[in-house]
Structure 1
Amino acid sequence: MTSIRSERATADLPELDPALMRSVLGHFATGVVAITGIDPETEAPTGLAANSFTSVSLEPPLVAFCVAATSTSWPRVRAAGHYTVNILSEAQEPVCRQLAARGAEKFRGIDWQPSPAGAPIMTDSLAWIEAELEAEHSAGDHTIVVSRVRHLYASDLAPLIFFRGRYGISGSAESR
């Protein structure tokens, strides 16, 4: 697929306010994932939370997620070789908040079991996808990570939703 960019599209538009962009894009409800691996340097579980996740291709089986270019967790997860994309369930908001925080104690008190390749599968996840790095693409202040799926599983739990900067549907205008 060829990328076509209009010269007019970039030349005539005013700068966008990042706060306005965040607010408008927050109107798109997303699920939340935890990307987890075993840090080969410390042999301890490591991970991060993200809400930019999508299916890319069935043949070959590919998924993608975005991480901040400044992330200190993603390099440790990447170094693991195999990692798990845990699609978080409604009950896992505290897990998400803990993995979204900076620091080395992200897995304190979090139950998990190993995937077939040993990456952490978070207990009570809605689904999990074991994957390995296929490609990375720099995109502004983020990196788009394309991953090849190796194993996967789903349950019937309810999803954790992120909407208008909040978890669940409580981010609607009526509940503010």
Structure 2
Amino acid sequence: MSETGFDARALRDAFGAFPTGVTVVTAHDAAGQPIGFTANSFTSVSLDPPLLLVCLAKASRNFAVMTGAGKFAVNILSETQKDVSNTFARPVEDRFAAVAWRKGPEGSPIFADVAAWFDCTTEQVLDAGDHVIMTGRVKAFANSGLNGLGYARGSYFTPALAGRAVSAAAEGEAQLSAVIERDGAVLLLGDDGLGLPTCAMEGGEPTQMLRDYLETLTGLSVSIGFLYSVYENRADNRQHIVYRATATSGEPITGRFLPPAEALQQRLDSPATADILRRFDMENSIGNFGVYFGNETAGKVHPVSRKA
């Protein structure tokens, strides 16, 4: 696609393929009131001198205050702080009432329980299209050692949970499956007993292996999303690793898209497939997904929210 006639949503989705951390950038206004906004456009710039940058939309309600404050802090959220991210991404008047915070050494708000924080003075504000790039000189920082909160393709993810999937795969023969969703329907295979598309994990990077299998199977372009379920099936002594995924429009070569509620009225290949479809139907309706760890009958869902 050429620059002329770019679809803004398509470009945003393409940018969203790059996984990032999640931060909240904070400062004080002229009256001393704290302000802040959620941002994933953050990166380190230099060690000597110590510099970082964040990007701020010119349309932001915080634009004038943030660019004129002369200093700001970057709070890298930990994997337990999805609610903090959502709060500071919404037009809530008293956002700071929902989070524990204090003034950093340079005076900007520093949050409790973050993965790391950086208290900065503003170095430069550079024009960049519909945003500005704010570079900050780090005056103080702290690193808690907590895992950061991840974000890609419109959803949060937690690196610790993804790491558990890799560990589970190493414990025995693993099967890779996908809940491929499109317009609320899920791709299912089979005639006598419907099931999720599944392939054996034979080494290598699991998401690339799964994507190659699914695109060959369906003839569609498939994007692998986040981990959805990791369970041991004690009947076949296999680890099952299930990812969420999306597919482009068009009829698949193999399989068909069915709403989960409709699929649950038909014969399925296993109780595990029924459990996954029931859970997906419920979570998709509220936009609040989780990652299941356990076996085919019992386990725990770790909540991982979609960005509000």
The 5-angstrom pairing of residues 18-167 of structure 1 reads: 18-41=8-31, 43-167=32-156
Would the aligned equivalents of 2:49 and 2:137 in 1 still touch at CA under 8 Å? Answer: yes
* Secondary structure at the counterpart of residue 70 of structure 1: coil
- Give the alignment partner of residue 157 of structure 2, picking from 135, 153, 168: 168
CA distance in 2, matches of 1:109, 1:14: 43
Does structure 1 conserve the Cα–Cα contact (< 8 Å) formed by 2:84 and 2:98?
no
Moved over 4 A (4+): none
Question: One-letter code of the match for 1:157?
Answer: L
Deviations 1:35-89 (A, max 9, x none): 1122222x22211110000111122211011111111124323444332100111
Identity in percent? 37
Matched residue SS, 1:131? strand
Contact 2:71 2:136 in 1 (8 A): no
- Structure 2 residues not aligned, in runs of 5+: 163-223, 227-242, 246-308
Amino acid at match of 1:126: A
Cα root mean square deviation, aligned = 2.0
* Deviates most, 30-39 or 78-87: 78-87
Bigger Cα Rg: 2
Q: Is the 8 A contact 1:47 1:74 kept in 2?
A: no
- 1:112-141 per-position Cα deviation (integer Å, ceiling 9, x unaligned): 122112211111110000001111111111
Q: TM-score, normalised by structure 2?
A: 0.50
Opposite residue 141 of structure 1, the aligned amino acid is D
Q: Distance in 2 between matches of 1:74 and 1:32?
A: 19
Aligned residue type for 2:125: E
Determine the C-alpha separation between the residues in 1 that align with 2:125 and 2:69: 15
SS where residue 134 of structure 1 aligns? strand
Structure 1 pair 137/79, CA: closer, same or farther in 2 (3 Å)? closer
Q: When the two structures are aligned, how many residues end up with a matched partner? A: 164
Query: 1:13 deviation in Å?
Result: 5.0
SS at match of 1:98: helix
Cα distance in 1 for residues equivalent to 2:155 and 2:52? 24
Give the Cα–Cα distance (whole angstroms) in 2 for the partners of residues 92 and 14 of structure 1: 39
Structure 2 distance, partners of 1:13, 1:88, is 34
CA distance in structure 2 between the partners assigned to 1:160 and 1:13 by the alignment? 32
Q: Measure the CA separation in 2 of the matches of 1:95 and 1:103.
A: 12
Q: Structure 1 regions of 5+ residues with no counterpart? A: 1-11
Segment of structure 1 superposing worse, 109-118 or 48-57: 109-118
**Cα separation, 2, equivalents of 1:94 and 1:75:** 26
Q: Secondary structure at the match of 1:157?
A: coil
Q: What is the letter of the counterpart of residue 119 of structure 2?
A: E
Do the aligned residues in 2 keep the contact of 1:35 with 1:86 (CA within 8 Å)?
Answer: yes
Return the alpha-carbon distance in structure 2 between the equivalents of residues 69 and 119 of structure 1: 21
